[in-house]
Structure 1
């Protein structure tokens, strides 16, 4: 009997571009990178946007909240679409349709138009799910964990690389005679066009599986879709471990998203840094994704071999708790050097926590790995939404109070007071979030596995079982 897994890549040979699995790995990782690049592409230009469109403090924070909230629903939906139509078509349409609000963001004239674009741009955050599905279909069980973690980590780089990349695009645009005040608009249009072109590349240069596309496999009779068992999904919803991991991912990836969206302004307001300098520091934060997320999955596997499934949970709890402690320390940093060191340590720990989370996820319910992954993945955006709401309520209130208190004292005085108020409010928000993360790390210890599940982990020698995300029946 033929089987799709027989032709999956067993090694992550990054330079073997003739291999469809490796080629797909690169294309899906680059696509994920571009989606995150565009998703947060406006962040370095927020001071220009605020001035150009006349955004209020409330509207500025609402744009951050909208950018992460739309992704929650998109992530829950995209997994089912991948099951039905295949990751190739889903990514093609996500890139091409997602490019539209990115381009339109550069053409907005009112705060309302800007907020609507930010909401729909957030949909491209669902690219994470497609990347994980496609990579899982392309790699064998012995390497799929490393491939998944690496593609996710490299894709996440886009969320920080835009701090350097978007200003460079803006500088290039200005060199052609465009006014500085308009550069952010052209930069967003260019980013959207790149995403659209990547969608075309995805369609022509990838396949759904090593054996071919879903459509062709169905027509040849090699792949027959069966209806998903609803009871299985209900069982996932009833599993308390899924919801603990939902909260864990909210406390890791969700907080990373929030930090991506707020750190530029915070560094500028707290340490009086220039925008480019602050962007470069945040870029160093994002660059940790090159290895940190993979490192989290690696140590999760190592602890799994030493202590079984319980070992994976112990490491997840440890690294998440460490993440919270570092964030608490960073919130009180008054020295730029100390702040940068703590920011790098936070980056390392938060991304390792993300990798460690998905070293546990595949063992919760192997018959419903797609449902588990979708729920846990959506948790990241819920966490980002809640954290952004907290920071918004504190910062917007403080900024408005500072503006009122210094009214009539001159624009520069008001601007300085507003920056100081925002810095203090966000700092206290980071402190509170840090304590919540620590508590979440402790709660993670309540994740338990049955004796049968532990025995199966030992039997498989600690290797993550490749999730069969697509419900298929293969004919001989």
Structure 2
């Protein structure tokens, strides 16, 4: 195979320090773009104490806002998964970035609970960038390393939520210090910053990425087998798609819930200041710098030695440990112990994220986008459902976390049980094994 042909193939190695070639250029732009998506998606979260005070929001209304922030993402992820299979990730991402930037910038125009709720709902579509990120990485890397590549782009992208929790209170304070805004209105001006960054990334993504190593969909001859036909139905008919969606709801769904409520929880439950609470919540998101990638790396190595069976077992174990850690977090009597418990369950949660999407590309190679979209939507559906716990006037935040921990551990056990039963049935039917080499 000559050099040109090699350059048009998915990479079999991931060198994060490399930037040459369309594969690595796309890799870096993909995780950076998703980072900005998360930054915009959760930019308002650490500023909610200011919003709550100015708009006079009660606990139930804040709960509705948390639910709204992840609800629109469900449909958007399903749509983006299908668009990746049809028009390609480059155009899909560009359009999403432009559409998502508008509500991010204009949420500052809200002066009532109702208008703020609608803007928060609209901002949620930007979370669909995850599906495109995972699809695009799957196009650029070979099966032996795709789990690691997906985990790194997803993890570094999710890091944007943690950085938003850390930086947005400082951005708001900066507008106050410059005399451009009062403290009460500073959140309105601060949200313009992530909106502008999303527009910048739309231009960069359109100009410098390609749909596949061989070029954009419009410029290459796709074989009949590569052309999408009923990909969404193919994904829906495979029980593994639904099982992964359930698992992702128990890890990523909990992650974005914590991103949404952590700052308020630390302020109300432990008396932390706005900046301190933002930094602590940001630390949770900061674990994505390595933890999700670690999950992908471990999953790939497990896959090479034990196949898909090993990956499913690993995913189940991570979910059980995550649930136990959340339970300890909910019962922590002091801020120091709460931080320690948070770091513990964050490690297993984010590793479970990476492990989940190390399995996704092997469900159906003809419907990677649709499978990725459904599983990603499952994550947001999980976040939406647990969001109802945080709006209840009869359930405290700490009690809500305890219920979540029990639920996540139960999902981990269910994943293992279903796979054991299914593998037994497949063995009896003589189903072929899936090679990961």
Q: What is the aligned counterpart of 1:203 among 206, 209, 224?
A: 206
Equivalent residue in structure 2 for 1:439, among 410, 413, 417: 410
- 1:360-375 aligned at under 5 Å gives the runs 360-375=359-374
Query: Which residue in 2 is equivalent to 1:266?
Result: 265
CA contact (8 A) 1:128 1:152 kept: yes
1:376, distance to aligned residue in structure 2 (A): 1.4
For 2:264, what is the secondary structure of its paired residue? helix
- Deviation track 1:198-257 (CA, whole Å, cap 9, x = no partner) reads 11111112222233222222xxx4667876443x65454343332222211111110111
Q: 1:177: which partner in 2? A: 179
Note the C-alpha offset of 1:369: 3.1
Query: Contact between 1:68 and 1:381, CA under 8 Å: does it hold in 2?
Result: yes
Q: Do the aligned residues in 2 keep the contact of 1:319 with 1:353 (CA within 8 Å)?
A: yes
* Partner SS state of residue 7, structure 1: coil
Alignment partner of 2:195 out of 179, 192, 197: 192
Residues 224/214 of structure 1: CA separation in 2 closer, same or farther (3 Å cut) = farther
Which position in structure 1 is the counterpart of 2:61?
A: 59
| Change in CA separation of 1:235 and 1:32 when aligned onto 2, cut-off 3 Å | closer
Q: 1:144 to 1:361 in 2, by over 3 A?
A: closer
1: CA distance, partners of 2:130 / 2:233: 24
Mapped partners of 2:136, 2:125: distance in 1: 18
SS in 1 for 2:78: helix
What number of residue pairs does the alignment pair up? 428
* Counterpart-to-counterpart distance in 1, 2:229 and 2:214: 26
Aligned to 1:19: 21
Mean Cα deviation higher: 180-189 or 239-248: 239-248
Q: Secondary structure of the equivalent of 2:43?
A: coil
Q: 1:136–1:241: structure 2 CA closer, same or farther, 3 Å change rule?
A: closer
Task: Tell me the alpha carbon deviations over residues 91-146 of structure 1, each in whole angstroms, 9 at most, x when there is no partner.
Answer: 11111111000011012222211111101100000000111111122223333221
Between structure 1 and structure 2, the one with the greater Rg is 1
Alignment of 1:154-303 (within 5 A): 154-178=156-180, 179-217=182-220, 221=221, 228-230=228-230, 233-234=232-233, 236-303=235-302
Pairing of 1:24-39 with structure 2 (within 5 A): 24-39=26-41
Instruction: Tell me if the contact between 1:69 and 1:122 (Cα under 8 Å) persists in the aligned partners.
Output: yes
Quote the Cα distance in structure 2 between the aligned partners of 1:4 and 1:250: 38
Q: Does the aligned pair in 2 maintain the 1:297–1:356 contact within 8 Å?
A: yes
Return the alpha-carbon distance in structure 1 between the equivalents of residues 270 and 58 of structure 2: 23
Q: Which moved more, 1:311-320 or 1:14-23?
A: 14-23
CA RMSD of aligned residues (A): 2.3
- Alpha-carbon distance in 1 for matches of 2:138, 2:110: 39
1:32-111 map, 5 Å = 32-111=34-113
Whether the aligned pair in 2 keeps the contact of 1:161 and 1:286 (CA below 8 Å) is yes
In the TM superposition, residue 6 of structure 1 has moved relative to its aligned partner by 4.2
Larger displacement relative to structure 2 (47-56 or 65-74) = 47-56
Shift of 1:32: 0.3
Q: Which shows bigger deviation, 67-76 or 290-299?
A: 290-299
TM-score by length of 2: 0.91
Matched, 1:329 2:345: no
Is the alpha carbon distance of 1:14 and 1:299 closer, same or farther for their aligned partners in structure 2, counting shifts above 3 Å? Answer: closer
Distance 2:19 2:356 in 1: 30
Distance 2:45 2:348 in 1: 23
Aligned residue in 2 for 1:113: 115
List gaps (5 residues or longer) in structure 2. Answer: none
Report the Cα distance in structure 2 between the residues aligned to 1:237 and 1:83, rounded to whole angstroms. Answer: 15
Distance in 2 (alpha carbons) for counterparts of 1:119 and 1:106: 14
Q: Residues 151 and 353 of structure 2 are in contact (CA less than 8 Å); yes or no, is this contact kept in structure 1? A: no
1:275, distance to aligned residue in structure 2 (A): 1.2
Which structure 1 residue ranges, 5 or more long, are not aligned? 399-423, 464-476
| Residue aligned with 1:70, SS | helix
**Greater shift in the superposed pair: 115-124 or 80-89:** 80-89
Aligned partners of 1:55, 1:292: CA distance in 2, in Å? 35
- TM-score, L = length of structure 1: 0.84
- On the 8 A contact 2:251/2:353 being kept in 1, the answer is yes
1:195, distance to aligned residue in structure 2 (A):
0.8
- Matched residues in 2 for 1:139 and 1:166: separation? 34
Matches within 5 A, 1:363-402: 363-393=362-392, 397-398=393-394
Distance (Å, rounded) in 1 between the aligned partners of 2:7 and 2:387: 41
| Contact map agreement 2:155 2:290 (CA 8 A) in 1 | yes
